[in-house]
Amino acid sequence: MKITASKLIRWSGLSAVAAGIIFAGIQPIHPPDIIASVTTNAFIIITSFKAIMSLFGIFGIAGLYARQVEETGWMGLAGYLLLTIFYAVQMCYSFAEPTILPLLVPVAPTFVTSVMQMASQSPTDMNLGAFATVFSFLPILYLLGLLLFGIAMFRARILSRWAAGLLALSGPIAVVLSLLGHPLDRLAAVPMGIALAWLGYALLSERQEPVSEPVLGKVSPELSQTGAD
């Protein structure tokens, strides 16, 4: 199969679908953010899927942006960059959760407890320094990225406008649900996950116009006659 830029962009929609499904699916069943959960199989599996989701999200967002790069303008670029940074940072944290935190439970329980408190947006028992500072920027990246990227795609009119509108609204919905406290705020992942999977499916299933390619060795009769004259 010949690999082309258009095919890569289309198939990046599959990454967006996977990222959206994982994000919407794991948040409602996420284990409690307490130290007792860290060594359980459920915590390790769920947080591993979070890291995979972030990787799929990076590729999926890149494909969505590449398909509409000219139509979305500066707003699309800003939203794309914010969401890419969000997924990149989230992937680092999500990778540490199943691979490092379980090993630290017996030797540094206060640190692990503080990380769990940070995740639930509660006061921490110890100062986590830059670790907590960088993590505190994730909600801002998430909110602004979804809002700008969603609005840009809605205005571009390339993919589903309903899905783009839902993606844009996912940020404000997350802010509203955050007022309900943790862990109810995890439900904010559902509309965002649905919107991302919807956009990914729209990109993957998008029909491409056939492009005629010139056949070497054949010259049109008009050009031949013109050359003869």
Q: What is the pLDDT of residue 62?
A: 93
The pLDDT value recorded for residue 1 is 60
* Residue 219 clears pLDDT 60, i.e. is over it: no
Which CB contacts under 8 angstroms, 24+ apart, belong to 208-215? Answer: 208/6, 208/10
Return the structure tokens found at 159: 């993919």
Task: Over range 199-218, report the average pLDDT.
Answer: 64
24-51 burial by CB neighbour count: b if 16+ within 10 A, else e? bbbbeebbebebebbeeeebbebbbbbb
Burial degree of 55 (CB within 10 A; 0-12, 13-18, 19+): middle
pLDDT tens digits, one per residue of 155-198: 999 998 999 999 999 988 888 877 777 667 778 888 999 999 99
Domain that holds residue 43: 5-228
Rounded to whole angstroms, the Cα distance separating 169 from 137 reads 19
Given a cut of 90, whether residue 9 has pLDDT beyond it is: no
**Residue ranges with strand state E in the chain:** none
Q: Which amino acid is at 186?
A: R
Can you give the pTM of this predicted structure?
0.82
Residue-wise pLDDT for 51-105, tens only, equals: 999 999 999 999 999 999 999 999 999 999 999 999 999 999 999 999 999 999 9
Return d(Cα 105, Cα 78) in angstroms, integer: 39
User: Number of folded domains in the chain?
Assistant: 1
Among 78, 66, 64, smallest CA distance to 164 is for 64
The 10s digit of each residue's pLDDT in 114-156 is 999 888 888 888 888 888 888 889 989 999 999 999 999 999 9
